[in-house]
Amino acid sequence: MIQFYIGNVYTTFKTSDNKILKAMYEMLSYEPKGVKFAARRLNIKWTKRGSFLDTHNMRFLTGFLPSIIRALKTFDAKFEIYDTRKDPVGSIGDYSLHGITLYDYQERTLNDFIKAKRGIAKLATGGGKTETCIAITKCLNIPTLFLTHRVNLLHQTKRRFEQRLPEMKNKIGVIGDSVFEPNFITIGTVQTIHSMIKSNPEKILPLLKQYQMLIIDEAHRSGAKQFWETASYCENAYYRLALTATPFMKGNAEDNMYLLGITGEICTEITNGELIERGIIAKPFFKFFTIDTPKDIKKLSNWHDIYDAGISENETRNKIIVNQTKQLRDMGKTIMIITTKVAHGKTLEKMISDSGVQCAFLSGSTHTDVREKMLNDLDKGKLECLIATNIFDEGISINGINAIILAAGTKSAPALFQRTGRGLRVKDDGNYCIIIDFIDTQHKKLLEHSMKRYNLIKNEKGFHIL
């Protein structure tokens, strides 16, 4: 027999059955990040695993409870569940927003989440997740913390809340970017709040306890220690919503399990295929170029050397990017180019500008005002091409982009879908987007990354390869 006592952050339990305890420990076990790499470097075998089951305090993150219950049922274990939480919402209110009408799938997402109380909303990029969570915030009408991880998303999200909820404008606050103005609804950067937990706990911890709903934007990032530690201090957040198009796609179990533990299971899903079929987002057409030079990098073993030689400093590859940019510009397209390294972005900026295309480069160090001006110029057609590092992997809304060049390589599934999503906002000129990518064959590591991207695209409903 085991008794569970559900809390907002942790579920505690009581049992004297060692068999059940061992099964739960194994179920919540994982291989710690970086172990394989470290073991290879030290030439040792590593067998020790971590576990999200806290046997000292007899507890685990509440998001794991449904999967634990399902497992216990498979071997007929007896259990009792006691919910110690209190739902702060008496009745569901109006969720109409200023200036827009929600799509039926957005209403479905809202209703699914309110029924589940906590979980992950898996919404394809371009599906209107920000408006959906604004509607949820309005209808629940409880103190809410909206967590994001980038300053540009902080300001963009605050503007969207104010635009859709003008009657609540004086109840919307910000924590981040050197501003500390919390309110009934607070948009905050996890970096600022987490830093205050360490440096000024007397000021921030009582505030975190006031919030009864926690929303985590771009939640595939929630494996980061800052996210889950911050979420754990929101002790009274009965409602917990994670927003992401790409949950559980990280390359390590630890990060994926943190996301599940601090929020919950997927409670609703809207796919790219559904949105493309309905014309809500643009139809993407992918064109791949095969790169087989330089041929002398096959024996390289250091990843940074491989990447620089095969990707960022590859003259042949970069010239193709320049030529494709010119062709797309001549077709009337507005282009975004995604890089990983700043040096690569600067190289492409010079090459493309020298070719006669109006081009600018953005990175994480670009001042907010300059960044906003560039985005505005791109949206209005004053800029033909924008090169950006992975600061644009998430959340940025630019309706004018109708061509993307994935110059970065890499194999990350979340990054791939987020990057392609930058160009899938609905279009006026045929509602399609051209996306350029590469099959890099010069080194087995580069080829492995290329094929990972290719197969993800090939298997995604609504995506087309030319």
pLDDT at residue number 278: 92
Which residue spans of the chain are classified as CATH 3.40.50.300? 104-270, 281-465
Which CATH number is 2-83 given? 3.30.780.20
Q: What whole-number distance in Å separates Cα of residue 352 and Cα of residue 215?
A: 40
Strands 59-61 and 10-15: antiparallel
Contact (CB, 8 A) for 118 and 63: yes
- Domain with residues 281-465, CATH architecture: 3-Layer(aba) Sandwich (3.40)
Position 120: which residue type?
I
pLDDT in tens, 77-105: 899 999 999 999 988 889 999 999 999 99
Q: At what angle do helices 444-458 and 413-421 cross, to 10 degrees?
A: 60
pLDDT in tens, 198-247: 999 999 999 999 999 999 998 665 556 788 899 999 999 999 999 988 77
pTM listed for this prediction: 0.85
Per DSSP, the three-state class of 247 is coil
Q: What whole-number distance in Å separates Cα of residue 419 and Cα of residue 430?
A: 21
Per-residue pLDDT of the chain (466 residues; tens, 9 = 90+): 899 999 999 999 999 999 899 999 999 998 876 555 544 555 555 456 889 999 999 999 999 999 999 999 988 889 999 999 999 998 888 999 999 999 999 999 999 999 999 999 999 888 899 999 999 999 999 999 999 988 888 998 999 999 999 999 999 999 999 999 999 999 999 999 999 999 999 999 999 999 999 999 986 655 567 888 999 999 999 999 999 887 776 667 888 888 899 999 999 999 999 999 999 988 999 999 999 999 999 999 999 999 999 999 999 999 999 999 999 999 999 999 999 999 999 999 999 999 999 999 988 787 778 888 888 888 888 899 999 987 665 555 566 788 999 999 888 777 787 778 777 776 666 788 999 999 999 999 999 999 999 999 999 999 999 9
Q: Which residue has the tokens 């290329």?
A: 450
- Listed as own residue / partner, the contacts of 235-238 with beta carbons closer than 8 Å and 24 or more positions apart are 235/8, 235/9, 235/208, 235/209, 236/8, 236/88, 236/209, 236/210, 236/211, 236/212, 237/8, 237/145, 237/211, 237/212, 237/213, 238/8, 238/85, 238/86, 238/87, 238/88, 238/117, 238/118, 238/212, 238/213
Per DSSP, the three-state class of 375 is helix
Count of CB atoms situated within 10 Å of the CB of 368? 12
Query: Which of 212, 217, 168 has the alpha carbon at shortest distance from 188?
Result: 217
Position 145: which residue type?
L
Q: Residues with Cβ < 8 Å from 322, sequence gap 6 or more?
A: 348, 351, 352, 355
HEC string of 118-168 equals EEEEEECCCCCHHHHHHHHHHHHCCCEEEEECCHHHHHHHHHHHHHHCHHH
Which residue spans of the chain are classified as CATH 3.30.780.20? 2-83
Please state, in angstroms and as integers, the Cα–Cα distance from residue 361 to each residue in 247, 310, 380, 391, 464, following that order.
29, 21, 17, 12, 29
The torsion of the CA quartet 119, 208, 29, 67, rounded to 10 degrees, works out to -30
Count of CB atoms situated within 10 Å of the CB of 113? 24
Q: What whole-number distance in Å separates Cα of residue 379 and Cα of residue 436?
A: 20
Superfamily name and number for 104-270: P-loop containing nucleotide triphosphate hydrolases (3.40.50.300)
Q: What whole-number distance in Å separates Cα of residue 231 and Cα of residue 194?
A: 10
Contact (CB, 8 A) for 258 and 250: no
- Per DSSP, 311 falls in state I
